[in-house]
């Protein structure tokens, strides 16, 4: 079930990235991220309070510290850096290259999983990583400069998210997925609100139009679904495997642009999709795929069973 949830996260991520292409432009990215993440924190609060005991069971001061660190490293700083970096890179016509650095997140997370969490290093995972990396390069058809304004911000954000996923996976050994998810988004939102206040941007929130609020709500709904499925799945799947599955979100975003924006798929990009499609099963492994398929088959058999 954990793998199926992470697969769902990847699909949600792919659609969400496409939606954010329409949601962010025309707004202050800092204010947009803060309000959206605050809404997500409120939405997942019941998950932390009522599912599997959660925060109601009581947390130690050390665990509160873990959650605050997760919120700082994963729920606040990288969001600000990422959207700011992409805006700068897009202005320098280097958006695709900058986004490629974000797509190396799975490599960073897999490495940290082995070094910090003691996950097993497998030869097939190394081959899968190569295929996923090459697939992303082909999918993007990189033609712009390797380093432009904003690339550094995106790279630092990517490193921070890889670190946060590692911290979260460690915390999930003793905490519920709802608690960790709320720690990331709840503490993250508090840090973001404080940042807006310090930087004098709180007034930007009142300047949102009705249409912009609609996009914020849509984006918040997708991020809520991402957080709920990701941390629940991550509790049951190794970090390296889960991070590799997230790569599926990138071809999903591209295929949506082909379907709805009239983008044309080149031969290189088709090869990129194939490389990712081959690399993902290698990263996941036969056993997990078999178990996930069995779970899905049992679900469908149950759904089709007569109810009397």
Q: Tell me how far CA of residue 95 lies from CA of 210, 262, 264, 271, in angstroms.
A: 28, 19, 18, 21
* Mean pLDDT over the full length of the chain: 84
In order, the DSSP letters of 148-214 are: -TTHHHHHHHHHHHHHHHHHHHHHTTTS-HHHHHHIIIIIHHHHHHHHHHHTT-THHHHT--HHHHH
pLDDT grade for 33, boundaries at 50, 70 and 90: very high
- Report if residue 200 sits inside a domain: yes
pLDDT tens by residue, 222-250: 999 999 999 999 999 999 889 888 888 88
Task: State yes or no: pLDDT of 122 exceeds 70.
Answer: yes
Residue 45's CB is within 10 A of a number of other CB atoms, namely 17
Q: Which of 194, 284, 192, 186 is nearest to 227 (CA)?
A: 186
- How many domains, in total, are found in the chain? 1
pLDDT tens by residue, 166-212: 999 999 999 999 999 999 999 999 999 999 999 999 999 988 889 99
- Report if residue 27 sits inside a domain: yes
User: Which residue range(s) make up the domain with 94?
Assistant: 2-295
Helix (H) or strand (E) holding 264: none
Percent of the chain at pLDDT > 70 equals: 86
Report d(CA 202, CA 205) in Å as an integer.
6
- Report if residue 162 sits inside a domain: yes
pLDDT at residue 230, rounded to an integer = 95
pLDDT tens by residue, 145-161: 667 788 899 899 999 99
- Report if residue 232 sits inside a domain: yes
On whether the CB atoms of residues 93 and 143 are closer than 8 A, the answer is no
- Report if residue 149 sits inside a domain: yes
- Report if residue 306 sits inside a domain: no
Three-class DSSP category at 176: coil
- Report if residue 59 sits inside a domain: yes
- Report if residue 53 sits inside a domain: yes
């Amino acid at each position: 079930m954990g793998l199926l949830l992470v697969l769902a996260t990847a699909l949600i991520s792919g659609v969400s990235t496409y939606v954010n292409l329409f949601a962010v432009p025309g707004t202050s990215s800092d204010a947009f991220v803060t309000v959206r993440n605050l809404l997500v924190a409120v939405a997942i609060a019941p998950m932390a309070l009522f599912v599997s005991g959660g925060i109601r069971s009581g947390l130690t001061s050390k665990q509160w510290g873990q959650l605050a660190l997760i919120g700082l490293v994963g729920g606040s700083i990288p969001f600000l850096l990422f959207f700011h970096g992409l805006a700068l890179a897009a202005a320098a016509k280097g958006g695709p290259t900058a986004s490629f650095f974000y797509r190396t997140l799975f490599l960073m997370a897999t490495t940290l999983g082995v070094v910090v969490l003691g996950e097993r290093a497998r030869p097939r995972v190394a081959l899968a990583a190569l295929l996923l990396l090459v697939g992303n390069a082909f999918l993007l058809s990189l033609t712009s400069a390797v380093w432009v304004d904003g690339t550094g911000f995106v790279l630092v954000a990517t490193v921070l998210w890889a670190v946060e996923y590692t911290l979260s996976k460690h915390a999930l050994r003793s905490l519920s997925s709802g608690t960790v998810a709320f720690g990331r988004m709840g503490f993250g939102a508090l840090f973001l609100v404080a940042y807006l206040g310090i930087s004098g941007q709180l007034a930007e929130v009142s300047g949102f139009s009705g249409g912009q609020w609609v996009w914020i709500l849509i984006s918040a709904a997708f991020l809520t679904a991402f957080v709920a499925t990701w941390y629940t799945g991550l509790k049951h799947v190794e970090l390296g495997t889960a991070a590799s599955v997230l790569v599926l979100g990138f071809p999903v975003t591209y295929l949506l642009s082909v379907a709805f924006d009239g983008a044309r798929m080149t031969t290189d990009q088709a090869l990129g999709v194939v490389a990712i499609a081959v690399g993902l099963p290698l990263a996941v492994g036969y056993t997990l795929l078999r178990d996930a398929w069995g779970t899905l088959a049992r679900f469908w058999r149950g759904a089709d069973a007569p109810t009397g």
